[in-house]
Every structure is written in structure tokens, then in C-alpha cells.
Amino acid sequence: MTAPESPPGAGPSPQPALGLAAENVGKTFGSVRALHGVTVAFPPGQVTALMGENGAGKSTLLRILSGDHRPTEGEVLLDGVPLDLSSPTDARRAGIRIIPQEPEIIPHVSVAENVYAGSLPRRAGRRLDRAELRRRITADLAALGFDQVLDPDLLGSELTAAQRQLVEIMRAITGTVPPRAIAFDEPTSSLSENEVEALFALIGRLRDQGIAIVYVSHRMKEIFRLADRIAVLRDGTLTGVLPAAETDERELVRLMVGRDLAGLFVRQDVATDRVVLDVRGLTTDDVHDVSLQVRAGEVVALAGLIGAGRSELALALAGDAPVRSGEILLGGRAVRLRSPKDAIRAGLGLAPEERKAQALFLHRSIRDNTSLVSLDRLRRRRFVKRTAEKQLAQEYADRLRVRAPSIETEVRTLSGGNQQKVVLARWLARRPELLILDEPTRGVDIGAKAEIYQIIADLARDGVAVLVISSELPEVLGLADRILVMQNGRVTGELGRAEASEEVVLALAMTDDLATGPRTTDTDATTGVAR
């Protein structure tokens, strides 16, 4: 393994660097490489921002730094000394703290007990020392300036999102081992403006105490306010470490997304004028006033960041989430989809985001997994026609080039890409008019990716309307005839193939963060689909 490209002003220095560092760290999950030889330093007394697209490897890197994952290769160093981190406890003892995006709060105990969970003060006989607990929490709250915002007697379940975050921060800072490095994983996603200010002030103080700060975020504004240095990951590789003062948004976006996958995509123009799916003003608990159309033979992509409401929209279209208002027309007819069964009957298929949790039956065969939604066409008086079923499963396993010893192989033994192909085979065998593919290439190696792109192109050529949800911008740009960008449950823009670029899509996906006010008004104009 050679060190990755080392941009000026960064890279490993000859003498042992102070602070936290990852040295040549790689991580493989099954056949998927999440990180490749990442070398990056987090010096003390500085805020190092960590940026990258969804799936670029930020979370994996954080988990390795926090001892939650063991790296497949490379080392984590503290002050130049390699650490042997085999559990989060080891990392804690070394002074490394992570503030997770979703704070883990014990619901039925007080703030004080939540903060010191695992090292509660106790008296003889292991009884809880309430007086000492009270003294400690009061002192710590005052020292951190949280005494006005956090009542130590509140129960975990009574806390607001911001207060939960504060509890996590207190956990990180208090304790017997003083913190040496603290990582924040998108801490502001659930905070209000005032709370963000308070958090930034706190981070500033921690930095001034000489603690190394790792700050993961998508939000450019915050990063330029807070960060001293910015490290960018893409596809598990470090693409640059830049001093914040010497870079700008354009350069960061280029480092985050600029890659060439164009060769993998099949360019064709087979979209027809026949509208298959027509959604008008759809509102559910998670998406608001969404209108869109997908035509036969057309591939429409839904772009956006995680949490933008794309998967929720897909589930609503698949009949798995109640519709509050608006209507869904399939082939020109208004349909009421009260259950996934209704949606399947109406000619709609969804290959959901989490294939293992939401689609696959891991202990069943490829044949069983493939035929499941087509059983109503494969049975005679409720008896499954075995021969027909085998033919169907074999046909689609062959067509999608599922690599397995036989169609009787249990799906759990397959690689991620082949599992995804089994999910696709299930829906292709059903022959839906509209197929929604939610993150069809997540966790899939590059070869299988190319094959899945070909499958999507073939579907479109057969006249299927395809709606693809993807967080990978090159994929969105390469596949789609038309791109809809979502944020916070709303469509914030629509782009044709010609006008779309990674920068434009990313800008629309982060509209609220880059600019507030005027943007939200002119997005309304773009939600209406051109007729």
C-alpha cells in the first residue's frame, strides 16, 4: 500500500505528529472496501473537518478511531504511538471520544445517571452515592456552562434532541481520563440556531484547551466557520487535506464528487411520452407536497442527502406509508394504495434501500426469494408449480448473471452485489410497469455496479418506468434522463440531463444550508412538472 496523494500542507510528517492520526488505515466489509489506505492527522488544538458524500467512508473512519471497528490494515496513532483499539472502551481509556449522530440515551434514568453511566459514584456495598452524583453533575454542568439548559433531574426520555446531544458531550468530556481527541458526527443536524451557537462556542473552548477536534458535517457554512483544516474523503480514499483558509466550496465539492464513472453508464434515449406514474401533491408524515411524473422507458433519479425524504417517498408509493393528501395515478388512473399488496397489484415494484433488512430472506434459496412476489402467477389451486417456478428463477438468475452454485443456494451466502441482483430478479420477474430502486448499488463492488446499470438500461428499453434513488452523484448523473432533488421531504429542484452537474445537484440538495430565504421561494416554481 502506498500512501495516498498528499496535498500540500498535509500528509504524514517525518517526526511523530502530536494528536490523533490514522496511518494507512483500510477497512473491508466482506467484498466491499470501505476505506483504502487513509492517512490523516488530527492535530491538537485544531478543528479538522471531515467531509465526503454519503458512503465515502466518514463513518467507517470514525468507527475505527473510536475502536468500534478494527481496521483491516493500518494503525491509529496517538502522539505517534500506535494504539491497540479492540473496543470503544479502549478508545475511551486512551482519551478518544466520539459524539454519535444519534445520541444513545437511557430513557428511564436521570440526566446525571446518563452522563456517568458505567462509572457512577457508589458507596460501600455498591449502593449509588446520590449526594456525590448530585455534587458532580452540578459542578460539571457549571464548568461547561450547561447549567441553564440542562436540568440534571430530567429523565432521558424527556430530553429534547439538543439536550440529548449535550448529554453525549458531557459523557465525552467528563470522566477520569481527560479527553485528547473528540469527534463530532454531524452534531448540528437536530439543533436549533441558538443551540448551534452554544455548541460552536463549546467546541472553540475545547480546541483552545489543546484537544484535537474532528468535525464531520455536510454543511459548508458551518465548516468554514469552525474548521482550521478540511479533510475530504471520496469512495473510501482521502482526496485532500486543505487549510480552511486556502480553499473554497467549489474546490471541496470537486474533491468530494469529481470522479469518472461515465464509462459504466449506458446512454440511450428510449423515454416515451406515455406517463406511467403521476404523483400530484403527495403528502405523508415525512414528505410534503411532492409532484412528479415518470414515463414509460424513462429513468428518473431522486437525488438528495440522507434524510431528505426520498426513501419515505418510495415507501409511500409502494403502499407502505399512509398518504395524508394528494393523489397517485398509475397509467392515468387514480389508485389508492393501502398496502404493498395494492401497489404490487397496480403494477408497481420497490427494491428497498436496506436489502437485508427490507427485502431478502437470507435463509431461503435464490428460487424462493425470486418467486415470492410472483407466486400468484405460479400457482394452481394454491399449489406452487415447481417446474414453472424453477424456470422463472433460473431465467432471471441467468439474465442478471447471479453468481451462485445453483438457484437452491441460500441467499445469505452470496456477495452483496449478487444479493442485490436477487432482489432485482424478484421484481423483474414480476414485470412491473414502474420499478422503484432505492440505492440499488449500495455496498456493491464496481463490477456488479456496472451490471446493475446495464439492467436498469434494459428495463427502460423494455418500456418500464424506472425511479432510481441514489446518494451517489455520478450514478444519478449517469443513469437519469431527469433528476429530481429532494431536501427535508420536499422536491427542491428538477433538472434535465443537459443542465445537470454534480455541483448543481449538490447545491439543490443542500439549499437550506448554502442560502436561506430566496431559494425556498423559487424552488416552489420548480416542483411543478412540465407537462
Partner 1 sequence: MTTPSATADQRPQAPAGRARPTGPRALLDAVGGQNLILLLALAAVLALFGSLNLNYLSWNNIQVIAEAATIAGLLAVVQTVVIICGGLDISVGSQAGLASVVSAMVFTSTGSSALLGMGAAVLVGAAVGLLNGAVIIYGRVNPTIATLAGLAAYKGVAQLISDGRAQGYVLGDPLFVFLSRGRIAGLPTMVWILLLIAAAVHVLLTYTDIGRNIYALGGNDTAARLAGINLNKYLLSVYALTGMVAAVAGVLLTARTGSGQPTSGSEGLELQAITAAALGGCALKGGKGGIGGTLLAVALLGALQNGLTVQGINTFWQNVAQGLLLVAAVVIQQRRGRERAVGLPA
Give the residues lining the site for partner 1 (CB under 8 A): 28, 30-31, 33, 68-70, 72, 86-88, 318, 320, 339-341, 343-345, 350, 352, 357-364, 366, 368, 371-373, 375-376, 378-379, 382-384, 386, 394, 397-398, 401-407, 409, 414-418, 426, 445
CB of 255 to partner 1, least distance (A): 25
| Nearer of residues 377 and 519 to partner 1, judged by Cβ | 377
CB of 240 to partner 1, least distance (A): 25
CB of 76 to partner 1, least distance (A): 15
Cα torsion 490, 521, 530, 503: sign: negative
CB of 378 to partner 1, least distance (A): 8
CB of 94 to partner 1, least distance (A): 16
- The count of other CB atoms within 10 Å of the CB of residue 309 is 21
| Nearer of residues 54 and 358 to partner 1, judged by Cβ | 358
β-bridge pairing 482-487 and 490-496: antiparallel
| Nearer of residues 235 and 494 to partner 1, judged by Cβ | 235
Residue 235 DSSP symbol: T
CB of 127 to partner 1, least distance (A): 24
Helix axes 386-399, 416-430, angle to 10 degrees: 120
CB of 60 to partner 1, least distance (A): 13
The whole-angstrom distance between residue 357's C-alpha and the CA centroid of its chain comes to 15
- Nearest-5° angle of CA 234, CA 240, CA 243? 135
Q: Could you give the CA distance from residue 402 to residue 404 in angstroms, rounded to a whole number?
A: 6
CB of 331 to partner 1, least distance (A): 19
| Nearer of residues 250 and 382 to partner 1, judged by Cβ | 382
What is the 3 state secondary structure string of 276-338? Answer: EEEEEEEECCCCCCEEEEEECCCEEEEECCCCCCHHHHHHHHCCCCCCCEEEEEECCEEECCC
| Nearer of residues 72 and 520 to partner 1, judged by Cβ | 72
- Nearest-5° angle of CA 400, CA 404, CA 409? 115
**Cβ atoms of residues 220 and 48 within 8 Å:** no
Residue 385: HSE in the Cβ half-sphere, 13 Å Cα cutoff: 11
| Nearer of residues 217 and 370 to partner 1, judged by Cβ | 370
Closest CA to 476 of 235, 304, 309, 250: 304
| Nearer of residues 153 and 376 to partner 1, judged by Cβ | 376
| Nearer of residues 205 and 336 to partner 1, judged by Cβ | 336
Cβ neighbours of residue 203 closer than 8 Å, sequence gap 6 or more: 47, 184, 213, 215, 226
Phi, psi (5° rounding) for residue 350? -130, 120
